[in-house]
Amino acid sequence: MNREHSIGDRHLLTVDGLEDKPVFEKQFIRIIVSERWAGTKSGQFLTSCLVNLLCRQIPLVGSIEIVSPKVKCPVPLPTGEAGDFPNSLQAFGAWATGGIVGVSTTETEVKADFTVFVGEAPVSHIYNSANSLLAIGDGWKAWVGIPGESPRAVEARSINPLGPFFAAALVAGEIFKKSRGIRRGRYISGGGYSLWSGETSVDWNRLADGPEIAGARIPAVHIMGAGAVGNAMVYAIASSGLHEAYIVVIDDDKYDATNLNRCLLAGWADLNEYKVDAVVRMLERAGLGAFPFRGSVKSYMTSSRAGLRKDVGERVDNLIFELVASCVDKGVSRQDIQGLGPQVLLGGSTLDLQAKSNFYSGRVGTACLACFNPAERGGEKIRALESRLRQMEKSERVVFLTKEGLDVAAIEEYLAGAECGGLGEASLQDFASRPPASFSAGFVSLSAGLLATAVLLQKSVFSEVAPRRGDMTTFNFLNGGFLDSGLGADDACERKCQKRSEERVARPR
């Protein structure tokens, strides 16, 4: 598998609602940033995040041209680049995917396959609804649609990244749908969304905005899982201008090429490195406290955790977890996280073209994280894998294990019957229990992380003023649907959460 194919592999898989094969490839995208928005944080957040997303849509996107006044660039970038805007965004192409998609800030006369206007569009422009979009994102709000249908003269006043990042995700989703082709659903002609209230409206002014995030303090947060959704949460947190935060990031996995289509804090140089390292790097650049743990949730509980802030370590020793965000994708890990009994537990996840955030309130009748997430039973799978490996010639086995990113030496020792083959057995167990590759795209993962971050902030910082919301929020990119709903319990929950909830309610105070 060559580099280009491996990066695009996951978003080219068959998924319900999309054509089996792309309709368009190697598209030329022009992003035009208005003069009033170029110097604002909202405009720069939206543009930089959109470039980050689009340069990973391989092979659907071929090149990106950014047309903008040159101004100072005050927003933090995952690339670590500094300098003026938009020139600092040119580094995204080489950083994210090794230069497969080129990013230029030199305006040309070449006809674009798709044009995106950021903030506002010239009145004189002739709009083609098939290939033009206007994107507006400010505060907790985002609006995307055909320029001729857009709200007029929206001012960028906020320094909150949530709305701009969500607008970038919406645009990237629309370009993706037009490139892949859709069998059902719809393209967004004009729609606004509030991450604060869950409202939707074509009228920007009807959407509720929330308070500024910058300057806020949040308690220590454990983010369990540093994959695409974990990347997205940290992307938002590190960009928010928080005065104080301490983020513990836990993951035992490393990046491979297929991760680069959606892990927005990781680039080509991060391949084969631990996922937590790129994530914590972004937090530290933002001046926030962070602790990377390169291991599983279980090993975090039993290890010495050298370097963890003392007060956080003491609470962990006493099984006190104030804020936990689950960004893992295995049932056994979700079971382990629920077993920690966090005071505030939320999760972000994706399913095909849907982004979800869940808040696990612990109320009777509502789901816990273990509901509908049974632990994987890998015994039969690992035995079948062992048998298959033993039947291979050693040279064939080495090629197979290397291709799958497994520890060849440790597994060879394990297969040879070495008493110290625990690492090899663990590596095989993890590989055997991996779910089959499924569709995933960067804009969906980003949206799940943004929805989860909104919940995190509303529950920890703005609980006294936050609107009443459902426990589950879903955004569907196929049709632009945005919905708050309940989160019902699983009668077959392995942790018997309903019994525990009922006992807690019945317990005399």
If you average pLDDT over every residue of the chain, what do you get? 91
Residue ending a domain, among 149, 173, 206, is 206
Q: Does the residue 46 lie in any domain?
A: yes
Mention every residue, 6+ apart, whose C-beta is less than 8 A from residue 111. 28
Q: Tell me what the mean pLDDT of segment 386-410 comes to.
A: 84
- Does 31 score more than 80 pLDDT? yes
Q: Does the residue 121 lie in any domain?
A: yes
What are phi and psi for residue 117, nearest 5 degrees? Answer: -100, 130
- Does 507 score more than 70 pLDDT? no
> Which range, of 106-110, 180-184, 429-433, averages the lowest pLDDT?
429-433
Give the pair of three-digit tokens for residue 321: 């977890």
Q: Does the residue 215 lie in any domain?
A: no
Considering the domain architecture, whether residues 45 and 163 belong to the same structural domain is answered as: yes
Cα separation, 270 vs 376, whole angstroms: 29
Residue ending a domain, among 144, 174, 206, is 206
In the prediction, which pLDDT does 506 show? Answer: 67
Considering the domain architecture, whether residues 271 and 316 belong to the same structural domain is answered as: yes
Q: What SS3 state is found at 118?
A: strand
Query: Which residue in the block uniquely carries the two structure tokens 């007060």?
Result: 311
Count of domains for the chain = 3
Q: Does the residue 214 lie in any domain?
A: no
Sign of the torsion formed by the C-alpha atoms of 417, 422, 424 and 425: positive
The count of other CB atoms within 10 Å of the CB of residue 377 is: 10
Each residue's pLDDT tens digit, 207-224: 999 999 999 999 999 999
Domain coverage including residue 399: 379-432
Considering the domain architecture, whether residues 284 and 166 belong to the same structural domain is answered as: no
Considering the domain architecture, whether residues 159 and 35 belong to the same structural domain is answered as: yes
Contact call for residues 308 and 220 (beta carbons, < 8 A): no
In the prediction, which pLDDT does 285 show? Answer: 95
Residue ending a domain, among 172, 206, 240, is 206
Each residue's pLDDT tens digit, 401-459: 887 777 888 888 888 775 554 667 677 776 666 666 789 999 999 999 999 999 999 99
Considering the domain architecture, whether residues 284 and 344 belong to the same structural domain is answered as: yes
242 burial class (0-12, 13-18, 19+ CB within 10 angstroms)? buried
CATH code: domain of residue 139: 3.40.50.720
Considering the domain architecture, whether residues 113 and 190 belong to the same structural domain is answered as: yes
Considering the domain architecture, whether residues 75 and 131 belong to the same structural domain is answered as: yes
In the prediction, which pLDDT does 398 show? Answer: 87
In the β-sheet with 190-194, what is the strand arrangement from edge to edge?
102-104, 61-67, 27-33, 114-118, 132-138, 141-145, 190-194, 200-201
Give the pair of three-digit tokens for residue 302: 């039993």
In the prediction, which pLDDT does 73 show? Answer: 87
Rounded to the nearest 5 percent, the helix, strand and coil shares of the chain are 35, 20, 45
Q: Tell me what the mean pLDDT of segment 85-109 comes to.
A: 96
Q: Does the residue 211 lie in any domain?
A: no
In the prediction, which pLDDT does 142 show? Answer: 98
- Does 261 score more than 80 pLDDT? yes
Considering the domain architecture, whether residues 388 and 336 belong to the same structural domain is answered as: no
Considering the domain architecture, whether residues 370 and 493 belong to the same structural domain is answered as: yes
Each residue's pLDDT tens digit, 42-69: 999 999 999 999 999 999 999 999 999 9
**Rounded to 5 degrees, what angle do the CA atoms 117, 118, 123 make?**
50
Q: Does the residue 336 lie in any domain?
A: yes
Cα separation, 504 vs 363, whole angstroms: 10
Sign of the torsion formed by the C-alpha atoms of 287, 288, 289 and 292: negative
Mention every residue, 6+ apart, whose C-beta is less than 8 A from residue 188. 144, 145, 170, 174, 480
Considering the domain architecture, whether residues 55 and 190 belong to the same structural domain is answered as: yes
Each residue's pLDDT tens digit, 310-320: 999 999 999 99
- Does 354 score more than 60 pLDDT? yes
In the prediction, which pLDDT does 4 show? Answer: 67
Q: Tell me what the mean pLDDT of segment 86-101 comes to.
A: 96
Considering the domain architecture, whether residues 408 and 284 belong to the same structural domain is answered as: no
Considering the domain architecture, whether residues 111 and 145 belong to the same structural domain is answered as: yes
What are phi and psi for residue 53, nearest 5 degrees? Answer: -70, -45
Q: Does the residue 213 lie in any domain?
A: no
Residues in the chain, overall count: 509
In the prediction, which pLDDT does 180 show? Answer: 96
Q: Does the residue 216 lie in any domain?
A: no
Q: How confident is the model at residue 206 (pLDDT cuts 50, 70, 90)?
A: very high
The count of other CB atoms within 10 Å of the CB of residue 291 is: 21
